Amino acid sequence: MKYQNDKNILQISGYAYPIKIYGTEGYFLNLTSCWGWGIWKNRWQDFYKFLLSKKEIQLSYKKIKSNRSLKNKFNINNTYNYLNFLNKQIVKNFNSWGVLFYLYSFNNEKLNLFPSKSLIDNDGFDGSGLHKSKSNIFNLKIKSKKIKYKLPNKLYNNNKNLEKISIFLKQELSIFKKIKNIFF
């Protein structure tokens, strides 16, 4: 695989946010996805060491919570409250290793590859998934199983696409949109 020797790359995702991206190839973000992904054994082992270190997780949480800029960045430009999920995981054992995976990536400034178009159908939002969500905002049905997928050569956090994801999250997770989805 193209990136297997670059330890700055943590994960390869099959999921793509439902946004119109800049460019035609995949892109990197310091953001993870738990939907249709792959990881190398050595990266998983590094994450697993972090996962077992309650002290390191607590210190990371406190550092982000006490720094407004880090908190805003961790919460994807203040559009998705990952810090709240992290707090629930730490305090109540919320059962979301995904938020700890994201914390590990965030802390270590890892890059995660996202495709230009989603390569997976995300069927867990019909209420049958672990967290019983019935929202379909993150799901795109794949129109074609034959997707030409170009791997990027430049390794950088694509802030333009991150901004588009922030706008998507802000629109889709607004209180008005939530109320509208309940009644319509």
Predicted confidence at residue 1, as pLDDT, reads 73
Of 21, 28, 12, 30, which is closest to residue 116 (Cα–Cα)?
21
Taking only the tens place, the pLDDT of each residue in 128-147 is 555 444 555 555 555 555 66
Is 50 within 8 Å of 82 (Cβ atoms)? Answer: no
CA angle, residues 76, 79, 85, in degrees to nearest 5: 75
Is 9 within 8 Å of 109 (Cβ atoms)? Answer: no
The pTM assigned to this predicted structure is 0.84
Predicted confidence at residue 94, as pLDDT, reads 75
Predicted confidence at residue 92, as pLDDT, reads 83
The segments of the chain whose pLDDT lies below 70 read: 122-148, 174-184
* Residue 136 φ/ψ, nearest 5 degrees: -110, 15
Predicted confidence at residue 84, as pLDDT, reads 94
Domain ranges of the chain: 9-183
